Amino acid sequence: MTATRLSPGDPAPEFTLPTDTGDTLNLADLRGRRVILYAYPAAMTPGCTKQACDFRDSLASLQAAGYEVVGISPDKPEKLAKFRERDAITFPLVSDTDKSVLTAYGAYGEKQLYGKTVTGVIRSTFVIDPDGKIERALYNVKATGHVAKIRRDLGLD
């Protein structure tokens, strides 16, 4: 099960998913703004917590530069709510329990984990332009240092 990867210029797959607050988030509602959508394997694990907190700590400057941040994982909304509360996450976390959106983005499939091939969430980040097209698609990113790298890549640092 090899994931089909997105490339710059591809349309960002649309979605409407439940959030950590019990609302729903529709990607189309964010048209006109740049969106950083990042896929992570599991809330409240060390790497995912580090990545979420890095995005949280950079959120004001990302928003000032015109970016919205959305995290996506296969966790249930209830777990995402606990994650938000525990770590003071200040951006939406969306729940893709059936992994259909993660799969559409190429962020679910075979990956290497500790030398073994497993099927799971491929830690990825997508920058979506104001027209809903993929501007950047980054796969197999590292949890630590990734936000700093994306800020540099976007010319924000």
| Number of domains, the chain | 1
Residue 26 belongs to some domain of the structure: yes
* Residue 45 lies inside a defined structural domain of this protein: yes
4 in any annotated domain: no
Residue corresponding to tokens 């003071």: 88
pLDDT at position 108: 95
Q: Residue 98 belongs to what domain range?
A: 14-154
> Could you tell me if residue 31 is inside a domain?
yes
- The string of pLDDT tens digits covering residues 7-63 is 999 999 999 999 999 999 999 999 999 999 999 999 988 888 899 999 999 999 999
Assess contact for 136 and 127: CB atoms under 8 A.
yes
Instruction: Establish if 131 belongs to a structural domain.
Output: yes
Does an H or E element contain 118, and which?
strand 116-121
Q: 3 falls in which pLDDT band (50, 70, 90)?
A: low
pLDDT of residue 72: 98
CATH classification of the domain holding 32: 3.40.30.10
* Residues annotated as catalytic (active site), given as ranges: 48
Examine residue 150 and state whether it is found in any structural domain, yes or no. Answer: yes
Q: What is the pTM of this model?
A: 0.94
Q: What is the pLDDT of residues 95-142, one digit of tens each?
A: 999 999 999 999 999 888 788 988 999 999 999 999 999 999 999 999
Mean per-residue pLDDT for 81-105?
96
Mean of pLDDT values over 77-100 = 96
* Long-range Cβ contact pairs of 115-120 (< 8 A, separation 24 or more): 119/1, 120/41
Classify residue 9: in a domain, yes or no: no
Please give the pLDDT value at position 2: 55
Determine phi and psi for 97, rounding to 5 degrees: -60, -30
